Amino acid sequence: MTTESATLRGQLCIWTDVDPAHDEDFNRWYDREHMQERVAIPGFQSARRFCALGAAPRPYLALYDTENLEVFRSAAYRSAFANQTEWSLHNFARMRDTQRRVGELAIELGDGEGGALALFVVPAGQVALEILRVELARVREESGVVRAAVLCTDVGLSSPLIANAPPAAADALVTIESTCADSGLAQARALAAQLGLPTDAVHSFRTMWRLGA
């Protein structure tokens, strides 16, 4: 997949922990209301949920793809964000250490979606898209890797879900999707190390489910 600047897709990423006492209700809310509600907003293409394989500071990940970044500035999205359901508000209060990113998918390589996903964050000031594009193109050719992407965080659109949470940074989220979790994780760790980033900050997830076209 190759995209021109004018046609870059948008993405919302929610990476979070949740109070274990409310884990069942949290998952039921996501699976029965929240995913459907978001995908119904004009411009949203799909929603996917993941859970961590092994220890992770935030065991749940949700990715929402949109036609472009302007979807997050639309009246429909602003209304949904400002008028959350009661069930949503309850679960937002139970979420912990949440990272919310909205931005453009500056790099998308490969076809389809993998059953496993590995990710790491490139800190603000260290995002070099030219280098990432070259290295991810190489990674994409490795056996088992089907997709690689980079989400560049738009600080202005990445408002935290919870009051008093730290503001978003102009960082980037690198994701590598694969048919085998171990191989995808190994490739992500190798790339992080090459970029001078800690490999223990690379985490692996399995797909829970997907909603959308």
Q: Tell me the CB-side half-sphere exposure of residue 171, using CA atoms within 13 A.
A: 14
User: Pick the residue with more confidence: 1 or 89?
Assistant: 89
Closest CA to 103 of 137, 129, 135, 141: 129
Q: What is the pLDDT of residue 2?
A: 44
Q: Which letter does DSSP use for residue 68 in this model?
A: S
**pLDDT tens per residue, range 52-108:** 999 999 999 999 999 999 999 999 999 999 999 999 999 999 999 999 999 999 999
How many other C-beta atoms lie within 10 A of the C-beta of residue 110? 20
Domains of the chain: 5-212 (3.30.70.100)
| Torsion, CA 107, CA 111, CA 115, CA 121, rounded to 10 | -10
Q: Return d(Cα 63, Cα 67) in angstroms, integer.
A: 14
Residue with structure tokens 């998952």? 27
